[in-house]
Amino acid sequence: MVQKKATVEVHLQPGAKSSEILGFRDGVLYVRVTAPPRKGQANQALLMLMAEALGVSESDLAIIRGYASRRKVLAVQGLDS
pLDDT of residue 20: 98
Does pLDDT of 70 surpass 70? yes
- pLDDT tens-place string over residues 9-56: 999 999 999 999 999 999 999 999 999 999 999 999 999 999 999 999
Nearest to 64 by CA among 73, 55, 56: 73
Domains defined for the chain, CATH in brackets: 3-69 (3.30.1200.10)
The pTM of this model reads 0.91
pLDDT of residue 18: 98
Does pLDDT of 1 surpass 60? no
Other residues' Cβ atoms within 10 Å of the Cβ of residue 49: 19
Q: CA 14 to CA 4: how far, in whole Å? A: 29
Nearest to 36 by CA among 13, 53, 56, 54: 13
